[in-house]
Amino acid sequence: MTPRPESSGSRPKGTAGEKIPEQPTAAQKKSAAKKTAVPKQAAAKKATAPAKKAAVKKTAATRSPATKATAKKAAPAKTTAKKAVEKKAVAKKAAPEKATAAKATAEKVAATKATTEKTTAKKATAKKATATKATATKAVAKKATTKKAVAKKATATKAAATKTTAAKTTGTKATAAKPPAKKATTKKAPAKKATTKKATAGDNTAGNSTAAQAQTVPPEMELAVSPAVGSADRDRLLNGTHHNPHSVLGAHPVPGGIAFRVFRPYALSVTVVAGEVRTELQNDGDGFFSGLLPLREVPEYRLLVEYEGTVLDTEDAYRFLPTLGDLDLHLIGEGRHEELWTALGAHPMTHQGVTGTRFSVWAPNALGVRVAGTFNFWDGTGHVMRSLGSSGVWELFLPDIGEGELYKFEITRPDGSKTMRADPMARRTEVPPATSSVITSSGYEWSDAEWLSRRAEAPAHEAPFSVYEMHLPSWRPGLTYRQLAEQLPGYVKNLGFTHVELMPVAEHPFGGSWGYQVTGFFAPTARLGTPDDFRYLVDSLHRAGIGVLMDWVPAHFPRDDWALAEFDGRPLYEHADPLRAAHPDWGTLEFDYGRNEVRNFLVANALYWCEEFHIDGLRVDAVASMLYLDYSREPGQWTPNEHGGRENLDAVAFLQEMNATLYRRVPGVVTIAEESTAWDGVTRATHHKGPSGFGGLGFGLKWNMGWMHDSLQYMSHEPVYRKHHHHEMTFSMVYAYSENYVLPISHDEVVHGKRSLVSKMPGDWWQQRANHRAYLGFMWAHPGKQLLFMGQEFAQGAEWSEAHGPDWWLLDPGYGAEAEHRGVRDLVRDLNTVYRATPALWRLDTDPAGFEWVVGDAADDNVLAFLRLDPEGNPLLSVSNFAPVVRPDYRLGVPEDVPAWHEAVNTDAAAYGGSDVTNPDPVKPEAQPWHGRPASIRLTLPPLSTVWLRPA
């Protein structure tokens, strides 16, 4: 970091004792306007020696000479000036200034006498000169009269407001000072106003305070004001609490020219370069630099900023207009900005013809916001953001800053303390455990147009939909997004899955959370590569014909003090009520779904993943915890809604809006709810009200958690006891068509002591694998879509661990039991192949016309048989025998219009590691009624198996 130079103290001020120029003659008055444009060097030659020295050392920070009347009344005028500049004067300069004042007073008295003799021809002038002399004599002995004291005060005020730069226009200033003095003697109020104007000359309102005078006084009569930053603004900028730094810093028209103000901590000097003009600004201390150039308009300019050992040639960040318009701010305030990620965050761009990065952040409770990053050595002091009105949005365009730079926002909380925060809208982050945001933009060119054009041909609930759920970092540990793109599509395609579901890929600090405690909602985790690398993976899967679903977590977020929790010093993204904010299960915070900007943040985030990364669907995590105010809470720990109920009305409205917006904007997308209760209408359209009075939530699919729990409970029993739990396998059909369901065997079922799927099964190793295969066959035939977590496709015996992922060594040909594991994987491939080729298994998944029981009450036999039908009536017969015995000639009723049946899948086949009890020949119906049907067939049912038969 460039070391900070010693402070030069407060900006130097002019005093009432500075040398006074001679009273201009009539000819000088006539040419005063021309003299305002005299270059600085020429003006300096005409100045007296002390004035010239002050112009060199103080550039534009010292005040102009006083008028002749002020010189004659030096004692009271000096007192008035001293009071005005008392806080900013440097103590060590007091003695020299007094000596200069004494010398200047003597010289001015002589100059006054000479001027008076030249003007004796005019009676009015002679009278005035006499009065002036008398006043000067009186000033040494006693106070002037009240009116003349007021006149002196007004004159001294205007003189003190003038800069050393005004030496270029000495004649003009002396002439201009006289009429206001006469005006001031009329009454006391204008004199007070002049004094106030002097005190605020360096403030950001200086231009406005002299507007009336600028309209009435010709340009050549204008009085220059101090360009230095006023004390109030100076303190706010240094403390990081300024709401509008652009009104102070940069270049601003003021009386006397253009004021340039620059805030560059640690800089040794700052030079303004405007075309051929190079002007070094006055160093006002603490990183502030200022100067007044005698220009009519703000020029195109750059800054040369000298630090120790280097000079930076750059644009002035405070010369740019806001990069966000009124429409953006209006939509953000309403919570309707559907492309919020394009408005907030860090965006490389070209603004007003200059390349740089636009930073913007929502922090309505902040006293001030600054940007810190690698580009300013993590010191945001000089990069103060401006507040864009009541929107709560802060913005700053930084020129010459581009991709790859790290940054955070330094926020001053309402209590004055400061916090350094990652960007909530960051689209790229550092690799954890580092927490900085990274400036990024995408140049990725997609190649999945064909996939996108086809994915909307049929809704998900009427199409084949089998999902391979996976945790990207641990599927093949150590692989990047691009390396995964070389292996994953081929593997999933070979197994026949239609989709992959990625556990949360949004950035998260703790790997053990598997991505479910998100801190970077708009950034794919940097553990595996860049955002464009992730795009490449999605693109590769699409080109292989595989859809991409992603777990999305809008239910809660962690409490990390660099992320969203109390982002600007007060509850912002979380609910203000502590009972509503704290999530009771995970130690996290719940979003405030009733706040427009928070709802907008989440809705836009859902759109972001689908539009920017071509994600085909979102599986929404922990929906139940969002819907109920009393979720995991005891009585007294929650407050009922306005109707006295336990439903979270804000969350309901948010989910409805999210789904409606996503389906409207992204054709072919699907949303899937992980909702574990009997909430009415999870997959019903939002505009259709149900019995409870609520409209539907608008999801496309819902995880069938009831089926999963019941069926796994049944399978965990020894076969001899299963007849007592037969209803656990049939109950799902009571409500199978109440929602559009997915049947999930997810990561949640194979961790934390729950054991892997095959290990849940009873019996020895052979029986466990047989049960495992039979269960998968039953699952794929049951109404609903399928989801299987990685590792379960080849019967991994150990629980999943994010540290090392699936046990791929089980498929190593050198391993003795490799064939048994590979057989299960081959079964999964064949189930998916037949499934995708058989519309009866998916076309009417949500229609009762697509399912018929053959036998659902054979509890003593542990047998379940049913028909699946497509819209044309073409059937598939599924028969499961969950007993460890062979059942020969098992009679089942079937439709009479099918001439013969043949096996499509038999989970007991030798190729899958079974005992190879099969029905190799077509099975013809007999005219014997059975199970209420006019015809029947006789089958040999293998032990612990599921058999699929299709018309031959």
Q: Can you tell me the distance from the alpha carbon of 839 to that of 845, in angstroms, rounded to the nearest whole number?
A: 10
| pLDDT score of 270 | 98
Bridging pattern class, strands 499-502 and 302-307: unpaired
| pLDDT score of 126 | 37
Q: Can you tell me the distance from the alpha carbon of 158 to that of 81, in angstroms, rounded to the nearest whole number?
A: 10
Residue with tokens 């047998």: 863
CB 403 within 8 A of CB 348: yes
pLDDT digits (tens, 9 = 90+) for 734-784: 999 999 999 999 999 999 999 999 999 999 999 999 999 999 999 999 999
Q: Where are the alpha helices (DSSP H) in 583-716?
A: 596-612, 623-627, 649-665, 705-716
CB 673 within 8 A of CB 620: yes
Q: Can you tell me the distance from the alpha carbon of 101 to that of 113, in angstroms, rounded to the nearest whole number?
A: 19
Sign of CA dihedral 646, 650, 654, 656: positive
Taking each helix axis as running N to C, give the angle between helix 74-85 and helix 146-160, from 0 to 180 degrees, rounded to the nearest 10. Answer: 50
3-class secondary structure per residue, 215-268: HHCCHHHCCCCCCCCCHHHHHHHHHCCCCCHHHCCEEEEECCEEEEEEECCCCC
Instruction: Name the CA dihedral angle for 893, 894, 896, 900, rounded to a multiple of 10 degrees.
Output: -120
Find the helix or strand (DSSP H, E) in which 373 lies: strand 368-373
Q: Can you tell me the distance from the alpha carbon of 370 to that of 608, in angstroms, rounded to the nearest whole number?
A: 26
Q: Can you tell me the distance from the alpha carbon of 389 to that of 395, in angstroms, rounded to the nearest whole number?
A: 11
Cis peptide before 227 (omega within 30 of 0): no
Specify the amino acid at residue 268: L
CB 793 within 8 A of CB 750: no
Supply angle C-alpha 641, 645, 646, rounded to 5: 85
Supply angle C-alpha 54, 60, 66, rounded to 5: 65
Active site residues: 621, 674
| pLDDT score of 222 | 55
| pLDDT score of 694 | 84
Low-confidence ranges of the chain (pLDDT < 70): 1-223
| pLDDT score of 95 | 38
Q: Can you tell me the distance from the alpha carbon of 186 to that of 147, in angstroms, rounded to the nearest whole number?
A: 8
Q: Can you tell me the distance from the alpha carbon of 290 to that of 889, in angstroms, rounded to the nearest whole number?
A: 100
Residue 854 structure tokens: 């053959």
| pLDDT score of 944 | 98
How far is the first Cα of the chain from the last one, in angstroms, to the nearest whole number? 80
| pTM attached to this predicted model | 0.78
